[in-house]
Chains A and B, each alone.
Chain A
Amino acid sequence: MITNRLMNTRGTLSFYVYAILLGTALLVPLFNLLPPEGSAFHLSDYTVTLLGKYLCFALLALALDLVWGYCGILSLGHCAFFALGGYAMGMYLMRMIGPRGVYGDPILPDFMVFLNWDELPWYWLGFDNFLFAMLMAVLVPGALAFVFGLLAFRSRVTGVYFSIITQALTFALMLAFFRNDMGFGGNNGLTDFKEILGFDIQARSTRAGLFVASVAALAAGYAICRAIVTSKLGKVLLAVRDAESRTRFLGYRPDRYKLFVWTVSACLAGVAGALYVPQVGIINPSEFTPANSIEAVVWVAVGGRGTLAGAILGGVFVNGMKTWFTSSFPDMWLFALGGLFIFVTLLLPKGILGTFLDYYGKRKGTGTDVAAPIAPAAAPPEAPAPEQEGRPRELERAGA
C-alpha cells in the first residue's frame, strides 16, 4: 500500500514536470513574440536564449542524475559528452555558412582555409546533412561512452577511481580539441553560424523554435529516464548502487546494467549539447573543462539526487543564480557556488526536491522518497560503503 501511495506521489510529480514544461514551451515564446518591445509583458530575446540555455543544462543534469542518482556512478566528465554533441551540431552549422565566410570558400570553413587545407577531412563529410549531424550528436557520445564504460565496468572500476578517470577523459578531449590540426577549429572552436535548416539563426522566430525544441528534448529525456527508473531495470540499478556484489550473487551482471544507463546518459548529454550550441552561437574546447563537469554534479546535488525532477530543478536554479551573481556581484560567484554546495551537503543532503518530498511525504504519512540515497549527496556512495558480503579478504587472512 505504501508503495502504491508513493507511486502516486511520484506520478503526480511527473505530471507537474510535464505541465510546467508544456506551460514554459507555450508561454515563453508567446511573451517574446506577441507583446511589443517595451511592453511590461515582453520577454527579451536575451532572456529566451538564456532560458533555452538553462534547459540544455537541465537535460545534462537529468542525464547525470540517471547514472549518479540511480546507479551510483559519479561521473566527473559528463560535459565531455555534452561538448561532443555540441561539436556535431557546430560542424553542421559551419557547413551551413557556405560561401558567406570571411574567406568565401564555398565548402571549407574559414579556419581550414586559414590552415591552408585543400579539402574537408573525411570526418567532416556528411555534416551538411542535418539528420546525419543529429544522428552523430547522439551516436558519437554514445559510442565513446560505450567503449569507455565497457572497459571500465568490466574491469570493475568503481567509485572514486571511476570518477577520476572520467575527469581524465574530459581533460584529454579538451587538450585534443585545442590542437589546430585536429580539424575542429582549435582554440577558437566553431562559431559565426549563419543559419539552421535554412532559418536565420539570429532571427527571433528561430530562437523561439530552438527554445521549444529544448523543452521538447527535455520532456522526452525525462520520459525516457522515468521509463528506465520505474521499470524492473530501475530496481536492479538501485540494487547495484547500494549492494553491487550482492546483485552478482543473484545472477545479475552489474557491468551490463551500468553500461546500458551510462550509454543512454551520454546520448542524452549529447542531445543537450547539440541544442546548446545554436543558442549560444559557439562551441570551443573550453566546454570540455573538467570544472564544468563538476559544476554539473553540483546542480544535481542541489536539486535533489535520485529524483530526476530535482536534477532539472537544480540545473535551472543554479544556473539562474549564476547569471544573477555574475552580473550583479561578479567576484562573488565562485564563493556563492562553493557556499551553496557546502550548505546543501551539510543541511539538505537530499537536495531541494528530495527534502521537499520528504517533508511532504511525512505530512501525508507516506514515508520517504524511494530513490533518494541515504548517503550524503556529495559523497560518492561507493566510497564509504563497507564491503557488504562477509569479511574482506585481509581479515579472513588475519584470522578475524
Chain B
Amino acid sequence: MTTQTSHTMLYLDGVTVSFDGFKALNALSLTLEPGEMRAIIGPNGAGKTTMMDVITGKTRPDEGEALFAGRHDLTSMDESRIANLGIGRKFQKPTVFECHTVWDNLLLALKANRSVAAALFARTSAAQRGKIDELLETINLKDARDVSAANLSHGQKQWLEIGMLLAQDPQLLLVDEPAAGMTDAETAETAKLLRKINETRTVVVVEHDMDFVRDLDVKVTVLHEGSVLAEGSLAHVSADERVIEVYLGR
C-alpha cells in the first residue's frame, strides 16, 4: 500500500467529516494517478463539495488521510499553503475579482512569490506579460483584457476563473460544476478546454450534467452519502443497480 501511494497524485483514505453528527463524508477513499482526469458525480448532499473542501484545506477531516503527490499531508495545512503546493480550485459559482480587470485577475493569479514584501515591490516582467497574453488566448478573452471582470458574461467569468487556475500553474485542478449555467456551445467549448488542460495536468471535475460527463469520456466516481458507491467508465457505472437506484433512476 505505502509503495503504491508514493506515485499517486492524490490519495484519500478513510476520510470522515461530520457536521453536528451528520456525516458529510463517511470513510471516503479515492486515489488519482498523475495525468488522470476524473469526473465525480453524485446526488445533492453526496459530499462532493465537502471532498473538495478537505483537499483544499477549507475543512479539516475528523478522521482519515489525505496525501498530495504521495508526501504532502493535506490535513495539516491551510488553504494558502495547499494552493502554493500546486492544487488549484475552481468554484461552482464563478468567483473572480470583480473590481479588477481581466488582465489584473490573471496577474494576481499568476504563479509568483506570494509574500507581502514581494507584492509591494513587484514589477510585471515581460515574461509574465507574455504568459498572461498566452492565457488570454487560451480562454478566449483576448479582446476583453481591460474589461472589468464585473462586466463579463457568466460563461466568460467561468473561463476567466479557469484561466486564473492555469495561471497558478497547478499540478492538480479541482473544478466544481464548470458547465453550470452555460449554453450548449459554451459547454462544448468548456469540455474542449478541460481536455486540453488535462494534457499537462491532473484534473478532477465535479459535475451534474450527464451529457457533459459523457463528452469528457473519462473514468467516473459516483459518490453517495459521503462514500464511493461505484467507480469506472460512465457506461459501467450507469449499469450499476445501486447507482440507478440512488441517482440515475430518479
Contacts and interface: CB of A to CB of B under 8 A. Distances in A.
- 9 smallest CB-CB distances across A and B, nearest first, come from A399-B45, A251-B83, A248-B79, A233-B119, A232-B122, A251-B84, A233-B120, A388-B95, A239-B97
A389 interface: yes
Contacts of A3: 101, 103-104, 146
A228 interface: yes
A391 interface: yes
Contact of B120 (A231, A239, A242): A231
Contacts, number: 119
Contacts of A236: 108, 119
Contacts of B100: 235, 238-239
A34 interface: no
Interface of B: 19-20, 22, 24, 44-45, 49-50, 52, 56, 58-59, 78-80, 83-84, 88-89, 91-93, 95, 97-101, 103-104, 107-109, 114-116, 119-122, 124, 146-148, 150, 164, 168, 176
14 contacts: A228-B120, A235-B107, A236-B108, A238-B99, A241-B99, A243-B97, A248-B83, A249-B88, A250-B108, A256-B115, A371-B99, A373-B99, A388-B95, A390-B52
A257 interface: yes
B97 A242 contact: yes
In this complex, which of B22, B95, B168 has the most chain A Cβ atoms within 10 angstroms of its Cβ?
A: B95
Interface in A210-252: 228, 231-233, 235-236, 238-239, 241-243, 245-252
B40 to A, nearest CB: 14
A394 B49 CA distance: 12
Nearest to A387: B93
Contact of A388 (B44, B93, B121, B168): B93
A249 B89 contact: yes
A152 B223 CA distance: 38
In this complex, which of A249, A370, A396 has the most chain B Cβ atoms within 10 angstroms of its Cβ?
A: A249
B114 A2 contact: no
A92 B246 CA distance: 76
A186 B77 CA distance: 48
B80 A248 contact: yes
B44 A400 contact: yes
A393 interface: yes
Contacts of A398: 45
Interface string A82-98: 00000000000000000
A367 interface: yes
A396 B24 CA distance: 8
Contacts of B50: 396
Given A242-B98, A243-B97, A396-B45, A250 B91 contact: no
A397 interface: yes
A229 to B, nearest CB: 11
Contacts of A31: none
Interface in A262-277: none
